[in-house]
Amino acid sequence: MTDDANAPWLIVGLGNPGPEYAGNRHNVGFMVVDLLAERMGGKFKRAGKAQAQVVEGRIGPPGPANRRVVLAKPMSYMNLSGGPVTALRDFYKVPTAHVVAVHDELDIDYGVLRLKIGGGDNGHNGLKSMTKSMGAEYHRLRFGIGRPPGRMQVADFVLKDFSSTERKELDYFVDRAADAVECLVTEGLERAQSAYNA
């Protein structure tokens, strides 16, 4: 395995492929890595045999804090994210502690961010699949989407687009989430938590 300090990072946006899912709350991970790709000036392309799209590039200022990163969007549907992520981790020789899952989180208010490493999946099928495939010791950027209103089922809520009210602030929150990922990769978890965990 490569020296961990210089090893690349794998930033995984969790979501479902296809235009019908693009604006869903469950796809906020895709939105964040799309923005990171735009900042790096890269375009997603199919990743060899892995069922995913990737962009390779660098994050951070010139010098020691500059990091090699692979942005990824699994194309396997949320519940099967683990296979493609593990294949990419192995192909790019990324330590599990350098894997970051960017995902929607029901138990946090809309737009609130939480960074952590390890832990349970809290019923999130994308995380469940990743943990089953490679263990739990990867980073997570949890993007709050809040709880469904009234009696709406969780499955229906996460597969609906953000509301018109939520969309007014969505770009700002996605931008902040992308900043949090960059901070995590270049400055470490503690620094990113103190800056972005509300």
- Written as tens digits, the pLDDT of the chain (198 aa) is 345 778 999 999 999 999 999 999 999 999 999 999 999 999 999 987 779 999 999 998 888 888 999 999 999 999 999 999 999 999 999 999 999 999 999 999 999 999 999 999 999 999 999 999 999 999 999 999 999 999 999 999 999 999 999 999 999 999 999 999 999 999 999 999 999 996
Is 26 tagged catalytic? yes
Per residue, what are the HEC states of 125-136? Answer: HHHHHHHHHHCC
Q: Which of 26, 98, 124, 139 is catalytic?
A: 26
- Tell me the two tokens of residue 169: 């602030």
Q: What is the pTM of this model?
A: 0.95
- Dihedral angle of Cα 8, 14, 16, 20, to the nearest 10 degrees: -110
Q: Which residues of 109-122 are buried (b: 16+ CB within 10 A; e: fewer)?
A: ebbbbbbebeeebe
How does pLDDT run across 35-91, given as a tens digit for each residue? Answer: 999 999 999 999 877 799 999 999 988 888 889 999 999 999 999 999 999 999 999
Give the helix/strand (H/E) hosting 90: helix 82-91
